[in-house]
Chains A and B, each alone.
Chain A
C-alpha cells in the first residue's frame, strides 16, 4: 500500500529540456547583471536589519497576582528566570504539536496498510508525547508560570516545525518521507530534553530533573525506533 519512490516524467531538471536549457544558459551568460556585486549585498542588508530588529516578543511575567514575580525569581537560581520559563514553554508547545504530528502519522500509517504492531507503537509514542506535555505543564505551574502562554521560544519552535507538519499531513507523501519528517522532530526533541535537564539543574530546580530524565529516555526510544522504521521503509538493512 505504501507509495515508494519511482521513476517517471519529472520535468524539473535541466536534462528534461535538452532544447531549452542551452538557450537559457546562453542568455544567462550573455546578459550581464544590471547591478554589480554578489550575495554579499544581501548579507549586509540582513546584518543591518538584525542590528535594528526588536525581539519576537517577551516571556510572560509569572502569575497575575502581585508579588508572584518576586517569589518565582527567588525560586530560580543561577540563571535569568526568563530563560528557564521560555524553554519550558517551548518544550510544552513542542510536545503538544508532537501529539498532533503523531495523530497525522497514525492516520497515514493506517491508510498505507502498516501492520497493527507498528500502529500500536505509534499510538504509544503519541500518548507519551501528551504525557510529556503534562510533565512540563506541572513544572511551569510549580514556578507560578502560565502554561497557556506562548513564550518566544515556543513561538519560534512552532515556525521551525511547520515544514514537518506540512510533510506528514500531505496525503501524497509516503511512509519514508513522513518518517523522515518525524525524525527531524524527534532529533530536535531529544537534544532539547537533554538541554532542558541541564537548564533545570543549573537553575536550582533539581526536583524537575527525574521527571525530565524519564521523558528523555522515552524520547530516545522514539528516536531509535524511527531510525529503524525509516531504514525498513527504504529497504536499508539495519546495522
Chain B
C-alpha cells in the first residue's frame, strides 16, 4: 500500500496569514469544454468538503461556547476557500449539466474510496451507495437529452458509463433501513474515519445542490426528478453519516475533518494537471495543515489528550481519480440486486415491510425517474443521433 508518511508533521500556513481578496475568490473559471472532467470532479468534491467544514463548525459552535472564537476564525477562511473553489465552475454549465458532473463525482470518488477502505463493512456500504449514484447519472442523462437536447458525455468525457444500475425507483427506503453500523473510534483506522467524513460531505452538498436548483426548472418532470433524487441523497447523507462513531467528541470530529480536508487537497495537488488550479490546491493544502495544527493544540488543551491517539496509523494515498469503469462494472454484476434491511445488506426479495410500504406510497402517483428514462439508451450525440434502424 502506497502510504502518506509525513503529512501530519507539516505545520502549514498560520491562520493569521490565510487571507483573500475578492478578485482571488471570483477568479477565472475552468473551461467546461477544454479542461479535463477530473479537474471539475476535484472542484466539486472540494467545494462539498469545504461546505461540510462550515457545517460541522457551526454545529460545534452551538454546543461549545469555549470554542466559538477559533471556530469562527477557521470558518471564515474556509468560507473563502469554498468560494474560490466553487466559483471555478463556469456559467455555461446549465444546472442539469452541473448535476451530471455532481453524479460523476459521487461515482468516481466513491469507487476510489470503496477500493481503498480497509473495513469490509464500510467498503460494502460505499459500493452499495455507489450503485445508486451510478443509476442517478443514467436518469439525469436521459433528462438532459430529452429536456435540453444535450449529450451527457460532453460533461463525462468518456470516463463514466451511462447505463442503469440499481433502479432509482428502488432506492427509496424507510429511514430505519438507511442507518448503518458505525466504526468504533477506538480501533478504526484513520483512513476509515477520513472516508466517512469525506463521502458524507460530498453527498451532503449533492443533496443541498438538488434542493436549491430543483425549483429552478420549469419542466414539471425535471422538478419531480430532482425532488425524487434529492430524497435519495438525504438517505445517502443518513447512510454515510451513520458510519461515523457518535461517541467521538466534537473536537475529535473536528480534528478528523481537518485531516480529511488536508488529505483531499494533497490528492488534488498530486493529480491535478491544470497548473493554475494545482496552485490553488497547493495553497489550500497549506491552509488546512494550519487548521489541523490549530485543532491539535485545542485538542491537547481542552481534552488533555494526545492527537496521535486519533491520528495514528497508516494513511493510504487516495486512489487515482480516473475512470473506475472496470471496478464499477464488477460491482454492478455482483451487487446490483442487494437491498438494505436495517444495517444489513440483503437480497432483493428480503426487503422489509417498512421500506416496501414507504416506497409504495411514494410511488402511488407516478415515479419521475421512470417517466423521464422510459426506454432510454445513451448514444454518442444523444438518442436523436442514433442511426435509424
Contact = CB atoms under 8 A, between A and B. Distances in A.
B163 A23 contact: no
A42 B163 contact: no
A172 B220 CA distance: 32
Interface string A14-53: 1011011101110111011111111111100110010001
B73 interface: no
B158 A16 contact: yes
A12 B157 contact: yes
Interface residues of A, number: 38
Contacts of A66: none
Among B35, B153, B325: residue with most chain A CB under 10 A: B153
B375 A33 contact: yes
B376 interface: yes
Contacts of B374: 33, 35-42
25 contacts: A11-B33, A11-B36, A12-B33, A12-B153, A17-B157, A17-B158, A20-B158, A20-B325, A21-B380, A23-B161, A24-B153, A24-B161, A25-B380, A27-B162, A28-B377, A31-B163, A37-B375, A39-B146, A39-B374, A41-B372, A45-B220, A45-B371, A46-B219, A166-B92, A170-B92
Nearest to B34: A9
Given A11-B157, A170-B91, A29 B373 contact: no
A29 B159 contact: no
A67 interface: no
Contact of A36 (B32, B162, B375): B375
A31 B378 CA distance: 10
Contacts of B376: 33, 39
B323 interface: yes
Nearest to B385: A14
Contacts, number: 111
A79 B109 CA distance: 60
Contacts of B58: none
A23 B146 contact: no
B34 A31 contact: no
Contacts of A32: 377
A10 interface: yes
Contacts of A23: 158, 161, 325
Contacts of A45: 220-221, 366, 371
A20 B38 CA distance: 15
B375 A12 contact: no
B164 A10 contact: no
Nearest to B162: A28
Contacts of B371: 41-42, 45
A24 B159 CA distance: 8
Given A49-B220, A166-B92, 6 more contacts: A16-B158, A17-B159, A33-B373, A34-B164, A34-B373, A172-B90
Given A28-B163, A39-B374, A20 B323 contact: yes
